[in-house]
Amino acid sequence: MEKPKNSPSRAKKQAPESTEDLATVLSRTVVGQPAATRLIVPYIQMFQAGLAPEGRPVGVFLLLGPTGTGKTKTVEALAEILHGSEKNVLKVDCGEFQMEHEVAKLIGAPPGYLGHRETQPMLTQQKLTAVTSDKCNLSLVLFDEIEKAAPSMTRLLLGVLDKAQLRLGDNTTVNFEKSMVFLTSNLGSREMLREMNPEFGFQSAQHSERADLIGKLQSIGLVAVRKRFSPEFVNRIDCIITYQPLSQEALAAILEHQIADLQSHVNTRLGDRSFTLEIPPEARQFLLEKGTSAEYGARELNRTIHRFLTQPLATMVATNQVSAGAKVRVDVADPPEKLSIRALEPEVVPAAAHPTVLLVDDNRDLLHFLERLMGDAGWTLFTAESATEARRLALLHKPNAALLDYMLPDGNGVELGVEFLQAVPQMLVIVMTGTILPPEEEALCEEHNFPVLRKPFLASDVVNQIRGRLAAAGGGRG
């Protein structure tokens, strides 16, 4: 039942996405369900190679297993990988087709019925095409909760699975040869849950016990399926995949995904008002413990994240408690019943308001003039008339900025600046010169992004240079 059938080509030849990639990406998104990846990917590969069999869908999969273990997620993840959006799935909720007469919604009413032109069938060729993309012409079709479907719907499905054809009310046919059909069902879930026996703890089960349990869940699923569906129906399914209860590691990985998704959601939705979440391991552990449930799988984790993190955050944003660029720190509250969420205001860089500046020039008049000017602005100043003295002061005070004359009695300002950067990498170095710099010095300035002030310059120029550059370096927050 697991082996793809080989037969002649029919799919449009596509730039084949490496299967390796597909499997890797899929198993990264759908965590802890290796069987799903291993069984589904070869069918896609076959389609992409143009080798999928004719006269039937590309693959028919029945996904079983407890709630919140990734059945629907698998189909959405495939849509995202193949088409670029998880919405590119034609989804039929079988719960809506429990009564015989409701099947008309699926295929449209036959002509002659009043209002048949107004009933838009759910499954048309157009709708199948609408969920494909430029990247890939494979339609993913999902029949959710198949066990709820009325018998007449199961009969219709039989034709789809068998011949890849569905006859609509108006007598036209829909072709499913370029479709992959997923059926999901909770058949057997209750028995599976009982088997998992949370008392003993699936989470802590040994490897061999776990393998044993997986086998048991599989046979529970099969028995339930055979009881509910006719042998013809079951025989037309390529793979029956039983999803496993999620282990602690899998849940931890899903939590990481959800947090990353939340952050990127904040970034895209809030744009320049966005903030950065800081969630230390203890807070993650808190969410994991609260969100672990054998009964509801990752659904419980998602609810927990929503309740303890997303909702309180939304309230803070809506009431303007988080400013743009802030860090939002999430800690376990005391007592540890919830999370404490605090917005830390963006740091003000004091350097930008009152920088420390080293002035180096052997022109004593200029030096004192600058010293007075900057001192009036409230800046802290150190002055040196030689490279040697400048070196000592730079190492001692690690100033925010250094204003260096190019020609010094014992060295040159450009090379001195490069030297300073090695000791204090974030230092702003500005070079002053009364002459044209030699090309190699010019190149050094460019390489290290040193502004060059040509003498004579306006006093306001130098003050503004330092202010502007330091503010920019502080992220404009100063």
Q: Residue 39 or 317: which CB sits closer to Mg ion?
A: 39
Q: Which of 254, 266, 322, 437 binds ligand ATP (CB under 6 A)?
A: 254
Residue 67 engages ligand ATP in binding (rule: CB under 6 A): yes
Shortest gap between Cβ of 70 and ligand ATP (angstroms)?
3
Residue 69 engages ligand ATP in binding (rule: CB under 6 A): yes
Residues 174-233 that bind ligand ATP (CB under 6 A): 184, 186
Which amino acid, 108? Answer: G
Residue 70 engages ligand ATP in binding (rule: CB under 6 A): yes
Residues 37-96 that bind Mg ion (CB under 5 A): 71-72
User: With CB cut-offs between 5 and 8 Å by kind, which of ligand ATP, Mg ion, none does residue 233 bind?
Assistant: none
What radius of gyration do the chain's Cα atoms show? 34
Total residues at the site for Mg ion (CB under 5 A)? 2
Shortest gap between Cβ of 198 and ligand ATP (angstroms)?
17
> Exposed, middle or buried, 272 (CB in 10 Å: 0-12/13-18/19+)?
exposed
Q: Residue 302 or 465: which CB sits closer to ligand ATP?
A: 302
User: With CB cut-offs between 5 and 8 Å by kind, which of Mg ion, ligand ATP, none does residue 242 bind?
Assistant: none
Residue 186 engages Mg ion in binding (rule: CB under 5 A): no
| 437 close to 445: Cβ distance less than 8 angstroms | yes
Residue 412 engages ligand ATP in binding (rule: CB under 6 A): no
Shortest gap between Cβ of 318 and ligand ATP (angstroms)?
24
Residues 4-63 that bind ligand ATP (CB under 6 A): 30-33
Q: Residue 4 or 70: which CB sits closer to Mg ion?
A: 70
Q: Which of 37, 57, 73, 106 binds ligand ATP (CB under 6 A)?
A: 73
> Which stretches of the chain bind ligand ATP, using CB under 6 A?
30-33, 67-73, 184, 186, 243, 254, 297-299, 302
Positions in the binding site for Mg ion (CB under 5 A): 71-72
